[in-house]
Amino acid sequence: MNRAYNAGTIAARPAAGEGPATDGRAMERCGTDAAPSCLMPPVPTAPASQARLMERGCSILRTAGIDNPRREARLLLAHALECSTADLVRDPDRLGDPAAYETVLARRAAREPLAYILGEREFWSLKFAVSPATLIPRPESETLIEAALALFADRAPPRRILDLGTGSGCLLLAALHEFHHAFGIGTDSSFPAARVAATNAALLGLADRSAFVCADWSTPLRDRFDLILCNPPYIPTSVIGGLMPEVARYEPVTALDGGPDGLVAYRQIIVTLRCLLRRDGVAILELGAGQDAGVARIAADCGLAATTRPDLAGIPRAMVLIRKTV
């Protein structure tokens, strides 16, 4: 059974199909805000053609500074019409209610992340529900799953997996999807985030092999694990305000803020790993750009050896930690 715990209390398990009631961390700067309403095309007042709605959507999103406005306008239109983008192509004469489309366009023009509006994001070719309580899964984080698969390719697969700061549960559930006989525990300090993760486990058919605990990192855990995954907050506090609006305004700051140097969470987590890992266990942590040397020093001070794996951009993104051999 999938579980979400809060201070030792089992929360009601989300039913299958239930939606939620957030570098991987886009550190580019962007000062573009939503477009003033006076610059937007007129609002259709009656059911309008797909082409007319798309024209308006593209114009609004382009003016708001959204990359690839046509693609996002189409995704939002399909969402507003409660159909797929393939349905739009098959039925180009389909009429739509402008009001529903107008609502989602306004949200996106205000730079609310597309994933929050749609309520989902793909990760590791799996669909994950997301909410403002969770960090939005990034492609860079898939590097941790790639590293885990490579490490266990020539050894017994992990049977016990821990995901610290699980958020949407994407890392833990992607790992369980690959390691078919493993059981996993995800912890998160946010109970709403743990609930989203539990929902995703149910939707992916992994409820019986996972549990979720509302806790500060590994505080309540006494077990040992073959594989520990973690994508900690690692953006320096002073940088957060200058991130692109989708991140700075909407994603949970607790999942972003790594303290003055971006390394606070690493210091809290790494010191506990020797007590959490089995003798041959492995921990894989996500890194921010340029943080590999600093995190490796923290690991060395705690008796752990570190290696890194780059993401597709060549940035050291996953740090693999094992016990040092004497």
- What is the 3 state secondary structure string of 47-102? CEEHHHHHHHHHHHHHHCCCCCHHHHHHHHHHHHCCCCHHHHHHCCCCEECHHHHH
Cα–Cα distance for residue pair 60/320, rounded to 1 Å:
44
- Report the pLDDT value the prediction gives residue 51, as an integer from 0 to 100: 85
Cα-flanking dihedrals φ and ψ of residue 283, to 5°? -115, 140
**Residue located via tokens 């309540």:** 220
- H-state helical runs in 152-291: 170-178, 191-203, 237-240, 245-248, 264-276
- Report the pLDDT value the prediction gives residue 44, as an integer from 0 to 100: 56
Contact (Cβ atoms closer than 8 angstroms) between residue 172 and residue 197: yes
pLDDT digits (tens, 9 = 90+) for 297-323: 999 999 999 999 999 999 999 999 999
User: In CATH, what class is 3-11+120-323?
Assistant: alpha beta
pTM greater than 0.75 (yes/no): yes
Q: What is the largest CA-CA distance in the chain?
A: 75
Mean model confidence pLDDT for the chain: 88
Neighbour count for residue 125 (Cβ, 10 Å): 8
37-110: CATH topology is Helicase, Ruva Protein; domain 3 (1.10.8)
Residues 6+ apart with CB under 8 A from 239: 27, 262
- Report the pLDDT value the prediction gives residue 148, as an integer from 0 to 100: 98
Pairing mode, strands 48-49 and 95-96: antiparallel
Secondary structure element (H or E) that encloses residue 160, with its range = strand 160-164
Contact (Cβ atoms closer than 8 angstroms) between residue 129 and residue 195: no
Cα–Cα distance for residue pair 142/125, rounded to 1 Å:
10
- Report the pLDDT value the prediction gives residue 20, as an integer from 0 to 100: 39
Q: Which long-range contacts (CB under 8 A, 24 or more apart) does 233-237 make?
A: 233/165, 233/257, 233/258, 233/264, 233/265, 234/23, 234/25, 234/258, 234/262, 234/263, 234/265, 234/266, 234/286, 234/287, 234/288, 234/291, 235/23, 235/25, 235/27, 235/262, 235/288, 236/260, 236/261, 236/262
Contact (Cβ atoms closer than 8 angstroms) between residue 235 and residue 23: yes
Q: In the chain, what are the domain boundaries?
A: 3-11+120-323, 37-110
DSSP 272: H
Residue ranges in the chain whose pLDDT is less than 50: 1-3, 5-39
Angle CA 88–89–91, to nearest 5:
65
